[in-house]
Structure formats: structure tokens, C-alpha cells
């Protein structure tokens, strides 16, 4: 699913032939002002998010590089790789927002295509964020097993390794479900509500035509 979204995003952000649509001047002026405010808010939220992510990744990577005698440096590199992927996502999404900000609403077909692409970016972001939860939990478990490190020795000695592993899997499932709803709310607050307003504006323009 993620690969399909990426292919669609890459194809839609490359070469969009303009198709000008005649819109009433007053409607166009109000809509353009509204569009600029929404996209400015989206760009601001995206910038704040990337700064927070980079600070958190730097802190986590620095901690695992030095803590526990350097036995968990793999965790640091994993977070650095994730940060690099997020930066790629940030630059492409920010470029799309800049294009939307500089595109006249009279070229309405392009705005609609760009908005659809932005919605796919958000959906990809949600899917990737949720998929990462079980992947990270699995990574930590395999890393601990490979290094023969027991994080809860007293618990594992009582319940046994098999029951501990089953409990870990159940915990990972519940954590993924809980974070899904939290992450979906977070994305809506940060991006979704603004995109919904922009979509509603385009619908109103269609009615005015």
C-alpha cells in the first residue's frame, strides 16, 4: 500500500499541464486569501514538526551512542535512518505546499490535483507511522535477543521466556492500536483539519461556477 501511494505521489508531482477555469473575480480573491492562510498554517506546522523530530532524534541517538556501554548503537543508527526518511518526506511535502501557494486558483484543476497529492502524503504519513510501531518493537526484541540481554530478568524467570514473548507480542498489538488512534488525532489536528477546509473551499468554488 505504501509503495502504491509513493508511486502515485511521484507521478502526480511531475508535470501538471495547466487548465485555466474561469471563476468570478470576487470569489477568486476571497478564495485565494483563504488558500494562502491555510497553506501558510500547513507549512508552519510542518516546519515545527521537523524541528521537534530532529531534536528528539538527536537526543535519542546521542543517548544510545553513549549509554549502556555503547551496546545499543544500532538503535541510534536506526533512528538516524528514520530521521533521514522523514527529512525526504518533509522536503517533498514542503515543495508541494510551496507549489500550491504559488499556483493561481484560476488554474483550479492543478490545485485539485495538488490537494489530492497532499492528501496522499498525509495518508502515507499515517500508514508509515503506524507500521513503524510493530517494526520498532520487533527490532528491539531481536536486538535484545541477539545480544543476550534480559530487560526484566525477575519477570522472565517467573513466567518463562515463551510466556514473556507472548506477552510482549500482545503488548505490542495493544500499543499499536492505541497509538493508531492517537496518531490519527495528531495528524488531523496538525494537517487534516486544514486540508478539509481547503477541500471545502474548492467545493464552494465549484458551486459558484
Radius of gyration of the chain (CA): 22
> Residue 78: pLDDT above 60?
yes
The count of structural domains within the chain is: 1
Q: What is the largest CA-CA distance in the chain?
A: 75
Note the pLDDT tens digit of each residue in 24-77. 555 556 667 777 888 889 999 999 999 999 999 999 888 888 877 778 888 899
What SS3 class is residue 199?
helix
pTM: 0.76
Q: Which residues contact 16 (CB under 8 A, 6 or more apart)?
A: 110, 113, 114
CA geometry: angle 204, 42, 201, nearest 5 deg: 0
- The pLDDT of residue 12 is 52
Average pLDDT over residues 139-155: 81
Residue 179 lies in a domain: yes
Residue 6 lies in a domain: yes
Residue 178 lies in a domain: yes
Q: Which residues contact 24 (CB under 8 A, 6 or more apart)?
A: 208
Residue 112 lies in a domain: yes
> Residue 102: pLDDT above 90?
no
Q: Where residue 99 falls among pLDDT bands split at 50, 70, 90?
A: confident
Give the integer Cα–Cα distance in Å for 84 and 71: 23
Residue 50 lies in a domain: yes
Residue 92 lies in a domain: yes
Q: CA dihedral defined by 180, 183, 184, 186, rounded to 10 degrees?
A: 160
Residue 16 lies in a domain: no
Question: Which structural domain range is residue 131 located in?
Answer: 2-11+21-208
Average pLDDT over residues 132-141: 91
Amino acid at each position: 500500500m505504501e509503495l502504491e501511494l509513493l508511486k502515485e505521489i511521484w507521478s502526480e508531482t511531475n508535470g501538471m499541464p495547466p487548465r485555466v477555469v474561469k471563476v468570478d473575480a470576487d470569489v477568486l480573491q476571497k478564495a485565494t486569501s483563504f488558500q494562502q492562510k491555510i497553506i501558510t498554517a500547513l507549512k508552519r506546522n510542518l516546519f515545527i514538526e521537523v524541528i521537534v523530530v530532529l531534536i528528539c532524534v538527536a537526543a535519542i541517538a546521542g543517548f544510545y551512542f553513549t549509554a549502556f556501554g555503547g551496546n545499543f548503537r544500532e538503535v541510534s543508527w536506526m533512528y538516524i535512518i528514520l530521521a533521514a526518511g522523514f527529512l525526504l518526506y518533509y522536503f517533498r511535502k514542503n515543495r508541494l505546499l510551496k507549489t500550491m501557494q504559488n499556483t493561481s486558483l484560476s488554474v483550479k484543476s492543478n490545485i485539485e490535483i495538488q490537494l489530492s497529492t497532499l492528501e496522499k502524503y498525509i495518508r502515507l504519513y499515517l500508514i508509515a507511522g503506524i507500521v513503524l510501531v510493530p517494526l520498532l518493537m520487533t527490532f528491539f526484541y531481536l536486538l535484545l535477543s541477539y545480544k543476550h540481554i534480559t530487560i526484566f530478568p525477575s519477570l522472565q524467570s517467573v513466567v518463562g521466556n515463551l510466556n514473556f514473548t507472548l506477552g510482549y507480542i500482545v503488548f505490542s498489538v495493544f500499543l499499536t492500536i492505541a497509538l493508531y488512534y492517537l496518531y490519527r488525532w495528531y495528524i488531523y489536528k496538525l494537517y487534516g483539519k486544514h486540508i478539509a477546509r481547503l477541500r471545502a473551499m474548492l467545493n464552494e468554488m465549484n458551486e459558484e461556477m
